[in-house]
Amino acid sequence: MSKTSRYSWRHLSAELQRRRVYPVIAAYAVVAFILLQIGEITFAPLGLPNWAMVTLIAVAIAGFPVVIVVAWIFDITPAGVRRTRSLVQEEDRPSIAVLPFVDMSPDKDQGYFCEGVAEEILNALTKIPQLSVAARSSSFQYSAGSGDVRRIGDELGVRAILEGSVRKSENRIRVTAQLVKSSDGYHLWSKTYDEELKDVFAIQDEIATNIANALLETLKPRERVSIQTTSTTDVSAYEYYLRGRQFFKRFRKKDIEYAMLMFREAINIDPEFALAWAGYADCHSFMVMYVDPRPDCRGEASEASKRALELNPNLAEARASRGLACLVCEEFDDAETEFRIAIDLNPNLFEAYYYYARTQFHQGDMEAAARLFAKAAEVDPADYQSRCLRAQILRGEGRLEEAKKEAQEAIIVVEKHVKWHPDDARAFYLGAGSLVVLGDIERAKRWLHRATEIAPEDSIVLYNVACNLATLGEKDKALEYLERAAEQGAVSAAWMRNDEDLASLREDRRYKALLARLDDDTAQGDTE
């Protein structure tokens, strides 16, 4: 179909209907008619001049094209007012959301495995440039069979939805997958696989390939290779890896420690499992950032990330992992290089943008950090972290109106997230920061309290609660929490210096003493 033919009257009518322009026109016509009738009845008795009625008619007529333009550009969705997607863009670039697969196993205890299968397929599809894939945190808010595919497709802005189920029993696995057109529920492709468990990797690859073939006219040989879903052939290693990733995403100290054990076990089973090495490196990097800044922990992060790259230099996740390790080792130029390569390999990799932003923040380049956090939020609209952190940066830079707008959007995302994850302490303390930006202090305090209820001894939580208390002017409480966090090794001196949330503490004697002690610990550690 040519570009010109797309703008035929038939397509224009379909586009007007899709963008809900017709109902808006009808509503405007009714309201305008009522107002004109009221004017005709009341203007003369009120003694208004004739030109008043003429003006009202002129305004009603002039408003007509304005209403059409606004209805064309914007749409009201359950997530708020959004810019309406272009049909031409949608036709040019197919889009898909992968929902978590349903656990059909006898004991219903394979949720992590079912979710992992779906996520591996999702990750494979993100490597195809011509395909727009909804981010994991967006699509995994739903479940297969949980709702009308048309509603889900509209809320996520995708044309197709992949849903399915997994039944895992001993050494057998049954996977059912179906690709559905979100506009009308029409099945584009479906298949059931009943194989040995060891064939799960081949099943994932075949599903990803079939989906790509169903949505795209052509798939380049390089792309066929790139969508291979995993870097191991050992099912046991794969299961440990999936469990590790499940723990890692919870972002609490004990969960990161559990994740580290799972990734380590996966590596013990398959020493050439690149993704497991990357996950293992990320765990150590997180420990350096929030818990254990000792050189040996940094060394583990660095060596594990190097090993992941040695095994697969074209793995975007490995590049991002290496970049994060370079960040915690304060090798900033190398970190930036690795993040750029990761983005080139997979432009849809959220972690690459997110950690790149944190790298810029660490160096004090707030403008670049804000820009990269915005890109991370664009890649994954359901991620609350990037929006909350960007709002804080904008406030620190004095860009208050931009900060408030970002904070409002962040709160919408956080509220939706905690409905599905009510035990996510990080969502509450980062969300509290956005509430502070908006001036909703009492609610911010309630969210901070909720975070400490969920994880009262977690060092990561303690530091971030301290930051929020500092912005609220509660200096003594902030310093108390900051010192408690530092006792557990959860505070980076470099990060503290650039953290605008702590600006009110800069001249405080206790703050200066804590910063000096952290500097001494870092210097001593570097010489050991």
Is residue 169 a contact partner of residue 105, using CB atoms and an 8 Å limit?
Answer: yes
Q: Give residues with Cβ within 8 angstroms of 42, minimum separation 6.
A: none
Is residue 332 a contact partner of residue 326, using CB atoms and an 8 Å limit?
Answer: yes
Is residue 186 a contact partner of residue 158, using CB atoms and an 8 Å limit?
Answer: no
User: What is the rounded distance in angstroms from the CA atom of residue 410 to the CA atom of residue 67?
Assistant: 29
* Strand partners for 75: 82
Comparing CA positions, the residue from 115, 95, 97, 96 lying closest to residue 105 is 115
User: What is the rounded distance in angstroms from the CA atom of residue 384 to the CA atom of residue 410?
Assistant: 6
- pLDDT per residue over 314-340, tens digit each? 899 999 999 999 999 989 999 999 999
Is residue 216 a contact partner of residue 94, using CB atoms and an 8 Å limit?
Answer: yes
User: What is the rounded distance in angstroms from the CA atom of residue 372 to the CA atom of residue 346?
Assistant: 15
pLDDT at position 227: 61
Q: How confident is the model at residue 524 (pLDDT cuts 50, 70, 90)?
A: low
- pLDDT per residue over 242-291, tens digit each? 899 888 887 777 889 999 999 999 999 999 999 999 999 999 998 888 76
With vertex at residue 219, the alpha carbon angle to CA 216 and CA 225, rounded to the nearest 5 degrees, is: 135
Per 3-state DSSP, what percentage of the chain is helix, strand, and coil (rounded to 5)? 65, 10, 25
More confident residue, 308 or 13: 308
Q: How confident is the model at residue 310 (pLDDT cuts 50, 70, 90)?
A: very high
More confident residue, 233 or 10: 233
Is residue 68 a contact partner of residue 25, using CB atoms and an 8 Å limit?
Answer: yes
Q: Is the pLDDT of residue 18 over 60?
A: no
pLDDT at position 403: 94
CA distances from 168 to 116, 191, 206, 210 (A): 13, 17, 18, 22
User: Which two three-digit tokens encode residue 264?
Assistant: 């380590």
CA 381, distance to chain mean position in Å, is: 6
Give me the DSSP letters along 422-457: TT-HHHHHHHHHHHHHHT-HHHHHHHHHHHHHH-TT
What is the pLDDT averaged over residues 376-388? 90
pLDDT at position 218: 58
pLDDT at position 358: 93
Question: How would you write 371-391 as a 3-class SS string?
Answer: HHHHHHHHHCCCCCHHHHHHH
Q: Is the pLDDT of residue 147 over 80?
A: no
What is the pLDDT averaged over residues 400-408? 94
What CATH architecture is 93-229? 3-Layer(aba) Sandwich (3.40)
Token pair 């990357």 is at which residue? 278
User: What is the rounded distance in angstroms from the CA atom of residue 303 to the CA atom of residue 288?
Assistant: 14
User: What is the rounded distance in angstroms from the CA atom of residue 280 to the CA atom of residue 267?
Assistant: 9
Question: How would you write 456-509 as a 3-class SS string?
Answer: CCCHHHHHHHHHHHHHCCCHHHHHHHHHHHHHCCCCCHHHHHHCHHHHHHCCCH
Query: Parallel, antiparallel, or unpaired: how do β-strands 160-169 and 102-103 relate?
Result: parallel
pLDDT at position 145: 57
User: What is the rounded distance in angstroms from the CA atom of residue 382 to the CA atom of residue 392?
Assistant: 18
Is residue 166 a contact partner of residue 102, using CB atoms and an 8 Å limit?
Answer: yes
What is the pLDDT averaged over residues 117-144? 79
The helix/strand/coil state of 157 is: coil
User: What is the rounded distance in angstroms from the CA atom of residue 313 to the CA atom of residue 307?
Assistant: 10
Share of the chain above pLDDT 70, in %: 84
- pLDDT per residue over 51-90, tens digit each? 778 887 888 788 778 777 777 666 554 334 455 544 334 4
Q: How confident is the model at residue 477 (pLDDT cuts 50, 70, 90)?
A: very high
- pLDDT per residue over 480-508, tens digit each? 998 888 877 656 676 677 677 788 898 89
Q: Where are the domains of the chain?
A: 5-87, 93-229
Is residue 444 a contact partner of residue 468, using CB atoms and an 8 Å limit?
Answer: yes
User: Which two three-digit tokens encode residue 455?
Assistant: 């994880």
Burial class (CB in 10 A: 0-12, 13-18, 19+), 307: buried
Is residue 205 a contact partner of residue 187, using CB atoms and an 8 Å limit?
Answer: no
User: What is the rounded distance in angstroms from the CA atom of residue 356 to the CA atom of residue 375?
Assistant: 10
> What does the mean pLDDT of the chain come to?
82
User: What is the rounded distance in angstroms from the CA atom of residue 432 to the CA atom of residue 451?
Assistant: 9
Q: Evaluate if pTM is beyond 0.85.
A: no
Count of CB atoms within 10 A of residue 512's CB? 12
